[in-house]
Structure 1
Amino acid sequence: MRDASAARLAGFPGHAQPDVAAQYVYVGRQPILDRDGALHAYELLFRAGRYNYAEVNDDAQATAQVVARTIGGIGVPAVLGQHRGFVNIDRALLFSDIVHLMPPERFVLEILETVHYDASLARRLEELRGAGFQIALDDVHEPSDELNAMLPYADIVKIDFLQTPPRTVEKLAAMLRGHGKTLLAEKIETREDFALAHEFGFDLFQGYFFAQPQVLATPRNRSLRPGLLRLLALLSGDAGIVELEAELKLNPSVVVQLLRLVNSSAFGLGRNIASLREAIIATGTRQIARWAQLLLYADTGDLPWRADPLVELAATRSRFMELAANWLRPGDDEFADAAFMTGIFSLVHIVLDSTPDAVLEKLGLAPQIREAIVARKGELGALLLIAEVAGEGGDAAPVAAAAGFPALTPDVLSDLNLSAAAWFGAHLAEPVA
C-alpha cells in the first residue's frame, strides 16, 4: 500500500529539520492486524525523514532503500520483531536478483498495481513462490480480467476501502474467498469500515483507524560507494576469501551491514557469526554481490536511477564495449567480460568526485583494465576510445580503423550503438534475475 492522505500528514509534529534528518535514515512501518485485533505483520514504507508521509520518485529505489535499511541498517529484529514485513515491489525489482536478499519467511512481496500481467510475470511469480515467498496484490478495487489472471500466483489480496464501494467490496470478497485467498482490508479509516470488513469475512486489516505508520530511524552511514565498488571489483574477478576479508576489514560500515545480513534469519544458521571469514563463507559470494548491488542501488543520489544520465551512460558504454568485443572475437568471453568491466569502471571517478588514477589505484582491477581507463592503452583502451566517440554521436570508424579494428565499420558501429541503447531500455523494463 502506498501512503494515503499524505497532504493531511504534512504537518506531522515529528518533522525533522533538514540538517538533523540528513544524519539519519528512516523506515516507516504500519501494523497489519488479524480478526482478533492482534498484530499479524507490518507494512514497511519508505520515509525520507521523520515526517510521516512518503516522497517517492522511484518505486524501485524506494524499495531498495527500505530493504537495505531494514536488513542492514536498523536490523530485522528491531523493525519486525517476530512478524513478517510487507514490502512494495515494482516490476524492475521483482525481476531483480536483489529480491533474494529478503528471507522469504520474513518478507511478503506486495506487487504494486502498476505491475501488469504477462507470461514472464507469471513465470517469475511461480519461481518466487517456489522459493517460499508469499505474494500479495496491492490496491485492488474492482474485478478485472487482469486480477483474474494474477490470482493463481497470489496468496493475499489487498482491497482498497477508500476507492471501492461497499457493494463491490462484498462482491470481490466473496469471489476471492472462493479462490482460497487471504483477504486484507487496507485503508480502513473508520469504525464503520472495520465493521464492514469484518462482516465481509476479511482476514487482515490495515489503516489509520488502527494506527498511523511509525517512523524508525538509525544514524546514516557515511557513503559506502568506494568500498562497495572495490568489493564488486573483487567479486567480478572471482576473488578468494582472503582477498574479500582483507577488503571488508578496510570498510567497517560495509562489514556491519554484512553481519546484520548474515545474522538475519535468511540463512537459517541458528547461531550468530563470530568472525568476518565465517560471515563470508556463510553468506557466499553471490549473496554478498547482491547485497553490494542493493546498497549501490539504494544510494544513487537525488535522481531516480532510471533518470540518472550517468547511470545510462555507464550502462550503454559498457554494453557497447561488450558487444564490440564479441564482434571482434566471437567466443572469447574473457575479452568481452573485460570490455564490459572497462566500460563500467571508466566513469567511477565521476561518482566519487576524484580522478581515474586515484580511484582505480584502490580498486585492484586487472592491469589491462586500469591502463585502458587511465591511459587508453591496449585493445581495451582502443575500445574505450571508440565507445566514447560513438557515444557522443561522432564518427568512430576512423578511430576503429586506426586501432586495427577494421571490422568495426560505420554500419556495424551504428548497429552496436542501437543494440546497447535497446539493451539498457529493456533492462529498465525487466532486469534479468
Structure 2
Amino acid sequence: MSSASQPGLAPGASSGSQHALQPDSQPCPLSASQGALRANPGLAQPFVYLGRQPILDRNGALNAYELLFRGGAQNRADVDDDVRATAQVMTRTIGQLGVPAVLGRHYGYVNISRELLFDDIVHLLPPGRFVLEVLEHVSFDAAVLERLAQLRRAGYRIAFDDVCELTENLLRALPYADIVKVDLMQTERSALPALVARLAAHGKTLIAEKVETSEDFELASSLGFELFQGYFFARPQVLRAPHVRASRLALVRLLALVANDVGTAELERELRSHPGVVVQLLRLVNSSAYAPGRPISSLREAVLAAGTRQIARWAQLLLYASGRDLPWGSDPLVQLAGTRSHFMELAARSLSPQDQDFADAAFMTGIFSLVHVLVGSTPAHTLDRLGLAREIVEAVDGNRGKLGTLLRITMDAERGDYDGAQRIASEAGGMFLALTPPLLGELNLWAGAWFTAYAEG
C-alpha cells in the first residue's frame, strides 16, 4: 500500500498529477435531491470518493495508478476492513466513476487481501486493465500460491506490496509475482542494494514506493528501480461521484436467481425493479473485457452481454461494498427513475402492444433520463460513456424521436400536468393521440403502485 494513508500536502509534489480527472477541490453542483440529502445529517453522504496515486517511470511519465479507498473528501484512507475497502474501490471505479474516466489508457493497481484473492468477484477486474496488488500481511501458503498461479494463467499481473526484506515467505512466492513494490520508508538504506539485486535476479519489475524526497528518487534510480511512487512526485488525487445506492434486498434476490440458474427473462424482470442496479450494470458491461461491439438498446441485451456469472459477481461485490444506508425505496431520485421508467414502458405498450423492442427501449430511456443527475454531469457526456443505442441517447439528450416525444409526455404527466402532456401528444399526432389525460392518469397510478410494491417488498 502506498504512502497515501498519510494526510496533508508537502512541498514539491507536482509532476504526474495533471491527468484526466481533477481532485476534489471544488464541489460539483447539487441537484435538488442531492441538496436534500446533504441538508439532512441523518442521511448517507451524497458522494462516494476514490483516491488514485500515479506510478511513474524514471522519465516522469505516467505508467499506472494505484487506486485507494477514501471514505470522504479528506485525503486519507481510514481503512478498518480490507475486504470492504477494496470492494468499494472496485464498485466506485467500475460502477460509478467508470474505468475509462479513472484510468484512461493506464493500468490500475488494486489492493487484494487473502479473502478477496479467493473470491470470484476478483474476475470483475479485466486483466488487461488491472494489476492485483497482494497486501503485505498475506501468508503465501500452498493454497495462496496455487490461486496466484490460476490468476496469472487467466491473464492477471500480480504485484507484492510493501516489501522491505526477503523473508522465506516472500522467496517461496516470488515465482508467482510479476512486480515487487519495495517500501523505501521501511527498508534499511544499507540493506537496499542487496535486496534490489536479489529481486532483480528473479526477473521482477521493481517499483520504489514511498519516494518522499529527491534523495530517495536518486538512490532508487541508481539501484535500478524501473517505476516510482510517492509524495515526491504526486499526492493521491481524491475523485468523487454522486452516491448511487443499490438495494441490499435487490442484490440478495439477484444472487438467489442466479444460484437457481434462472433464465434471462427472469433476471431481466428482477432488474427492472431496481434502476440503481441497472445503471451500474451498464457501467460494468462497458468497462469489462467482454463489452459488446454494438450499442445496448434493452435491458435484455445488457443481461446477455454481462452474463449471469458476471451479474452474480457484481451483486456480490455491491453487497461487500455496502454499509448502513438509506433503504433503497427512500431515495427520491431512485423513486423518480423507477416510476418514470415503468410509466414509459406501460405507455409504450399501450401505444404499440406488439412492439416489444419499443417497450424495452422506453424503459431504458426512463432510467437513463436521470443518470446524468446521479453522476453530476451533463446528459451528453454521461450517455456517451454508457454505450446506449442512438435512439435512446437522442431521446434523453434533446427529446428527439418517438422516445423523446414519449419522454416529454412522461415528464409532464409525472408533474400532474396532463393537459400539457396531451398537447405534446396532439402535436406529435399518430399513435400518440391515444395518450389521453384519463389514460395518462391511470398509467401514473400503475407506475407508482408498481414501484411502491417493490420498494416495500
Do they fold alike, i.e. is TM over 0.5?
yes
1:151-202 Cα shifts (integer Å, max 9, x gaps) = 0000000000111122322111111111110000000010111111111111
Deviation, 1:266, is 2.2
Given that 2:185 and 2:210 are in contact with CA atoms closer than 8 Å, whether structure 1 keeps it comes out as yes
Deviation, 1:278, is 1.3
1:335-362 Cα shifts (integer Å, max 9, x gaps) = xxxxxxxxxxxxxxxxxxxxxxxxxx96
- 1:228 aligned to 2:251? yes
Name which of 120, 125, 147 aligns with 1:97: 120
- 1:203 aligned to 2:226? yes
Question: Where does residue 115 of structure 1 map in the other structure?
Answer: 138
What are the within-5 Å matches in structure 2 for residues 159-198 of structure 1?
159-198=182-221
Deviation, 1:242, is 1.2
Given that 1:13 and 1:51 are in contact with CA atoms closer than 8 Å, whether structure 2 keeps it comes out as no
Distance 2:71 2:194 in 1: 38
In structure 2, give the amino acid aligned to 1:101. Answer: L
Distance 1:98 1:13 in 2: 29
What are the within-5 Å matches in structure 2 for residues 347-426 of structure 1?
none
Name which of 261, 266, 277 aligns with 1:238: 261
Name which of 104, 121, 128 aligns with 1:81: 104
Distance 1:2 1:283 in 2: 33
What are the within-5 Å matches in structure 2 for residues 205-354 of structure 1?
205-267=228-290, 269-301=292-324
In structure 1, give the amino acid aligned to 2:6. Answer: A
Q: How many residues are aligned here?
A: 305
Given that 2:273 and 2:454 are in contact with CA atoms closer than 8 Å, whether structure 1 keeps it comes out as no
Three-state SS of the structure 2 residue aligned to 1:188 is: coil
In structure 2, give the amino acid aligned to 1:232. Answer: L
In structure 1, give the amino acid aligned to 2:94. Answer: I
Percent identical pairs in the alignment equals 61
Distance 2:280 2:24 in 1: 31
Deviation, 1:245, is 1.1
Given that 1:108 and 1:135 are in contact with CA atoms closer than 8 Å, whether structure 2 keeps it comes out as yes
Question: Where does residue 153 of structure 1 map in the other structure?
Answer: 176
Deviation, 1:2, is 4.6
1:190–1:270 CA distance, 2 compared to 1 (3 A):
farther
What are the within-5 Å matches in structure 2 for residues 122-137 of structure 1?
122-137=145-160
**CA RMSD between the two structures:** 2.5
Distance 2:266 2:291 in 1: 26
1:362–1:250 CA distance, 2 compared to 1 (3 A):
closer
Structure 1's unaligned 5+ residue stretches are 303-360, 366-433
In structure 1, give the amino acid aligned to 2:124. Answer: L
Structure 2's unaligned 5+ residue stretches are 11-22, 28-37, 326-452
Given that 1:24 and 1:219 are in contact with CA atoms closer than 8 Å, whether structure 2 keeps it comes out as yes
1:360-417 Cα shifts (integer Å, max 9, x gaps) = x969x9xxxxxxxxxxxxxxxxxxxxxxxxxxxxxxxxxxxxxxxxxxxxxxxxxxxx
Question: Where does residue 43 of structure 1 map in the other structure?
Answer: 66
In structure 1, give the amino acid aligned to 2:198. Answer: M
Q: What's the TM-score once normalised by structure 1's chain length?
A: 0.66
Distance 1:273 1:131 in 2: 27
In structure 2, give the amino acid aligned to 1:254. Answer: V
Question: Where does residue 6 of structure 1 map in the other structure?
Answer: 6
Deviation, 1:223, is 4.2
